[in-house]
Structure 1
Amino acid sequence: MNLNITRHPWKKNALKRLILSFICILLPLYLLSMIIYNWGIRTLQDEISKSMISQVSGYFSGLEEEFRRIQTLQYDVLSDDNLNALGAIPDSLNDIEKMQSILRLQQRLNAIRNSSTYIKDVYAYIPAIQKNVSALTISSFDQEAFQKLRNIPLTLDSQVMNVDGRMYLSAVYPFSTPSSKRGPLFIVAIELSKEKLEEHLKLMVNSQDEGLIFNSSQFVITTSHDPAFDQQITARMTSDVNMGKAQKLIINDKHYLAVYASSHFFGAVLSKYVPENAVFQPLQKYRSWFVLLAAVALFIIIIYSLYVYKYIHKPLDKLVKAFRKIEHGDLDVQIDHTINDEFQYIYKRFNVMSGNLKSLIDQVYKQQFLTQKAELKQLQSQINPHFLYNNLFILSTMARLGDYENLEQFTNQLGEYFQFVTRNSSDEVPLWKEVNHAKVYADIQAMRFSNRLRVEFDELPEHVGHVMVPRLILQPIIENAFEHGLERKPANGILRVRILKIANVIHMIVEDNGEELDEKRIELLRVALSNQDGVETTGILNIHQRIRLKFGQTSGLVVERSEWGGLKTTIQIDYTNGGV
C-alpha cells in the first residue's frame, strides 16, 4: 500500500477550492462603495421628495392659517357697534350720525383690507340703509349680490366660495337658511385676490417645466397655461397619490415627480409637479457606472455559484440522497466520485458502512423481527375465538331466558363487532375505530349484566382519533375486567373507561370495583409487564408488547389497584414521533 495514500487518503483539492472561493467572494467587495453610493442616491431622492412635500404642505398650512386669520377679523366685524347700529336700528340715527358710522365702519373695513395682500376688498351689505360699504367705496345697495352671498351655505369645509368668478369669504348676520322668511341684517364679505394667489404660487416654481395647481370645486388657480395638462395632473393626484408621499407620473410620455396636500378649509388640493429628469439628470452618469458594475458583480456571482454547485453542492447532494435511500430501507445503494478529494474518501466509507449495515440487519434484526411478528400473529388469532365463544354463550342465555326485546339490539351490536374483526385485515386502525369497537363490546356486556353493573365510557378527545394504533388493544382490557373482576360480582358492579390526552400522550384507563385480584397477583402482573423475557406472551402482555413495538418503550400498559378496590389498567400511547 502506498504510504502517502494511507496517511492522506485524499488530495487537498477541496481545500484549494474553498480558498479560491473565498478569494472570489472578496473580489466583489469593491462593489460595496458603489452600493453605498447608490444608497446615497436613493437617500437624495427621498430628501428631494420630502422637500417637495414639506414645501407644498408648509405653503398650504401657511395659506390656510392666513385665511383663518382673515376670517377671524371678518367675524370680529360682525360685532362692530357702527355696523350693528346701521343694520339693526338705523332709524335711531340722524343723517350725520349715519354718515359718521359709515365712515368709521369703512375705516375698519379698510384696516382689514390692508392686513393681508390676499384681500382685494371688504364689503358690508346693509339692507336697512340700502348701502354697500366697502373699504374703498360707498355705493347703492346691490340686491342681486346680496342674495348670492346670502345663499352661500355655512359649512366647515370650503370656506372660500366662488361667486360670479370671484373668490369670497362671506359672513351673514344673523345666519339664516335660504328658505327663512327673516332676512339677515347685514353681510360682511371679503373678496380675495386670485391674482395674488397666482403670484405666490409662481414664486414656488423654479423653472417653466415645473408647476402648481390650486384645485377646488369652486375655482382652479394654476401656474401653467395648459388646462388639459392641468386636468390630467389633477386627476392623477386624486386617484394615484397618497397625501404625504411623492408619486412618479407619466403624462404625454414625460416623467414627473408629483406631490399634493389637501385642505378642508379651502376644499381644495394643492399639487406640485416637477420633471423627473430635471431633478435626477446629474445622477444618470453615475447610474450607468452602477449598472455596469452590477452586471460584472452578477457575472462573478454566477460563475462562483456554478463552481460551488459542481464541486461542493452536487457531491453533498448525492451523499444526502444516498442517506435518504438508507433511511427508506434501500441498503444496496452505492455511490462513487471520480475526483480524488475528500468526497471520494467519504463515499468509500459510506459504501463500506451500508454494506456492514445490510449484513447486520440480515443477521440480527430481520430474524428477530420475523420471530416477533410470527408470535404476534399467533397471539392475535387467540383473541377472536375466545370472544366468539363468550358471545355465543350470551346469545344462548338471552334466547333461553326469552329476552326477545333486547335480542335484536344485541344481535346488531354483535354483528357490528364481528364486522370490525373480520373485515378489517390490517394490523393497525385509527384510534377512533378501536375506541368505537371497544364501546360496542362494552355495550354488549352492559346489556348482559344490566341488573348487576353499570358502564361509564368517556368520549374520545379531539385531535387524536387519527392516530394509527394496533388492532384490539382496548377491547381485550375491558373483556379482562369483566371476566376477572365483575362477572361474579352479585351487584353494584362498576366499569369505567376514561380517555385522556396529556401533551402528546394518550391515556386510556380501564378500572373496575372487582374483588377477585389480590395485591400479590397484581404485583406479579406488573413484574411480567416490565420484564417479558421468558414470559408466555398472552392476554394483556400481548397488548403491551404490540403497543411497545409500535410506539416505543415509553408506551405500553400500567396496572395498579383501582380506587374502588379492583384493577386499574392504563394504556399509554406516546405518539410524539408518530410511532416507531
Structure 2
Amino acid sequence: MKSAFILWRKSIFTRLIATFLLIISPIYLVAFFIYNWGINSVKDELKSTMMSQVGFYASNLDTEIQRVNALLFNTLYDSNLTDLSNLITKLSDYDVYRSVNNLQQRLLVLQNSNLYVKNVTAYIPSADMTVSSNTGIGPLNPEELRFFNGARTDAKSQLLFYQDDIYLRALLPLDINYRLEKKMHLLTVTLSIDRIRAALGQLETRQGSGAALLLPDDRLIAPGKMKGDFAARLKAELDSRLERGDSSGSILLKDEGNSYFAVYVRSAYLNTTMVQYVPQEALTEKADRFKTIFVLFSCAAVLIVVLYMLSSFKFIQQPMLKLIRVLRQMEKGNLNVEVTHARNDEFGFLFQRINGMMRNLNQLIDQVYKQQILTQRAELKQLQSQINPHFLYNTYFVLYNMAMTDDFDNVKLFTHQLGSYFQYITRNAAEDVPLHVECDHARTYCDIQSLRFYNRIVVDFGDIPPGYRDKLVPRLILQPVIENAFEHGLSDKKDSGLLTIRFEEEYEGFAITVEDNGPALSDDRVRELNEMLLLESSDAAEMTAIVNIHRRLRLKFGGGSGIVFRHGGNGGLKASIIVRDKEAGTDEEIADRG
C-alpha cells in the first residue's frame, strides 16, 4: 500500500493515467446505466405489447361472443320458431315447410354473422325435431335436449361443453322441469374450435412463440401441438394465479432447458383465460442491439485508454525516463553523456539546454581541473624546493663528525638514509603514493634527525593500521609536519625531547597525529595557527609547507580533511593530519548528523 502510494505520488505518468481513468469512468458508467435502461425499456415495451395483444384478442373474443348471444336470444323469439313449437298441430304441411325454411334461413344468417360460429341448432320438442343451419331438419336427441336444458355454467355467456364441442345456448328463463314437461324450445350455437385456434395463431409473432386459451373445463386450446409437459406447467401456473385472484399478469416458465415468458388475461364473461408466450430470448432480442452497441463502446473506451497510455508513455514517460537516466549518469560524475530527442517539442528544448549545460560544465570542469592540477604541481614543486638549508648544513656536519671519528658503519647508514630521503622528495613520479611509502619516508627523516639530536630527542613512531596501509595519499604530507615539530617545537630541547607519531581511527577515515613536548602555546596562538591554514596564502615562511599540505588534502579528500592544530597532552603542540572519504563531508556536517 505504501509503495503504491509512493508510486502515485512520484510518477507523473501514473497520475496522468489515473486522472484520465477518473475522467472517463463517469462517462463509461453513464453509458452502462443507459445500456441497462435501454434493455429494461425494451423488455417493458415488449411486455406491454404482448399484454396489449392478448388483451385485444381476449376483448375481441368477448365482444364476438356477446354479439352471438344477443342474436341468439333474438332468434329465440322468432315467429317461425314459436309457431313450430306452439302450433305445430294446427299448421298445414305447407306452413310447416315454410316455417322450417324461414327458420333455417334465420339460423344460417346467424351462423354467417360471426367467424367463430360453426353451427346453429333449434331444438323443438313439441315437433320432435331439430332445425340446423347446416343440415336443416333432423331428429331430436332426448339426451342432448336434457343436457342443454339442465346444464349449469359459471360463465355469463352460458358457455357449455358437450362431447368435445363448445356451445352457447338460449332458452326461456323457466324451471327445468316445466320446460321439459311443456316441451319448450331452445337454441344452441356450436363454436368452431379450429377457428379459435386460427385466431390464436395470429399471436404467434416469432419462432418458438405461441398462444392458448384455457377453457373452464380445464382444456387448453392452442394453434399447434403443445408439448404435454409444457402445457401441464402452463395450466398449473395459470390455475395458481387465478386462485390468487390475479386476472392478468406475466409468467416465467422453463421447459427442457428453454425459458419462456408468458402474459395472460382472464375473461370474466367467458370464464376463459387467454395466454401468449415467447422464448425468453425474445425479450432481449432487441436489447441485444443495445448490448452490441455497449460492447463496441466498451471496446472503443478500452482502445482509447490504451492509445492514451501508449501516447502518454511515448510522448511523456519515455523522454522523462531518458532524462532521469541522464541525470543519474551526471550524479555518478559522467558528464560526457548526451541526450537526443527527435521531436521539436518542450522535451526537445529541455534536452538541448541540458546538452548545452553539460558541454559548458565539461569546459568549466576541464578548466578548473587543469588549473587545480597545475596549482598542485606548482605547490608540490615549491614544497620540494623548500629544503631547509640548515638541515643540509646539519646533516653534513653530522656526516663530517662520523668520518672524523672513523664511525664508518654509521657513515654508510647515514649516507644511505640521506640518499633515500632526497630521492623521495625530488622525484617527479606519481603525486599519490600508498600511505606506508609516505610513512617510510617520514621514518627515514626521523632517523636522520635522531642522529642530529642524539641523546636529546626520542621519536616514538606508531604502526599503521592494516586497513589503511595501501591508502593512496598525496606525497610529502607527513614529513613536513614532523620537520615543523623538530624545528619549532623541539630544537631548543637540551634533553628529554619526545616526538610521538600515532595513527587513529576517525569518522569515515583516519588521522595521523604528530605531537611534541616542546614549549606550551597559548590558546590564541593555536587559534592563529588554525586560521592561517584557511588563508589562500601565508606570509609566514614556516607555515607555507603546512598550508600547502592542508589545501592538497582538502582538494583530494574534501572539506572534512586537512590539518588541525591542538594543545598536546605533553605540553607542546599536536598536529592532526585528517584523511576522510570525500563523501563524509565537513566537520560541521558530520556533527549535524550526530
Structure 1 length-normalised TM: 0.44
